[in-house]
Amino acid sequence: MAEYNTMELMIVSAARELENAATVGVGTGAPCAAAMLAQKTHAPDLVILFEAGGISPQLPEMPISVGDSRTFYRAVKAGGMCDIMESCARGLVDYTFLGGAQIDAYGNLNSTVIGDYNAPKVRLPGSGGANDFASFCWRTMVITPQDKRRFVEKVDFITTPGWLSGGNSRDESGLPLGTGPYRIITNMAIMGFEEKSKRMIVLSLNPGSTKEDVQENCGFELLWSEDLSETSPPTAEELDILRNQVDPKGYIINR
């Protein structure tokens, strides 16, 4: 079996969630690497969208920002932010990848403040387009390291809506029916959300991780799938493409 690090495992796991001909809104970093890997393996017709306006580029190499000229390379359209956000609002974007400083049991994300909003311990960058993406794209995925400081019972501020307080609360809030958090991909496991409660549920354990490891590094009680499995490790082919075509300089995979 080929050797790999946890970042490579997370990127490969995320890429496998993207089917051919789907649409995905990404930022830079691991989400972009996952989309590029999917496009170069099993999903050649994957449509990648960048917040700054690049629509379906054929990325020659890893861009350094959502406005990098490479995000427009051989694109279907060199649009703008309004084109991307309007596409999300019209229900044309299947997936998006997001992140944040905190995530709770219902997939709500905080990238605004740590502590009280008016007198925070830390002031964070804020939403950018994250709220729009999570509100209107059909399925939201998160790639993130896992620890108790990040996985909290209640986020200090809801920058980006997940399943809100669970159950039907997201639908009742007025957000589009059928949208919401889908997968949480960490260095330890892959999570989804239980159908009725909308609470985070562990679907598979990454190689080398145990149930005790995953729960110990989470600030709330996790649910566990009855069909709990082990995450399939990256194949030699996936690693070769990731290392030599997607991120040959190791900007992302060597973090």
Q: Which residues are catalytic?
A: 51
| Element at 113 (helix H, strand E) | strand 113-115
> Is the distance from CB of 189 to CB of 6 less than 8 angstroms?
no
As given in the structure block, the two tokens for residue 123 are: 């002031």
Comparing CA positions, the residue from 70, 36, 33 lying closest to residue 54 is 70
> Is the distance from CB of 137 to CB of 208 less than 8 angstroms?
no
Sequence-distant contacts of 196-199: CB under 8 A, at least 24 apart: 196/167, 197/166, 197/167, 197/223, 198/106, 198/107, 198/163, 198/166, 198/167, 198/169, 198/170, 199/105, 199/106, 199/163, 199/166, 199/223
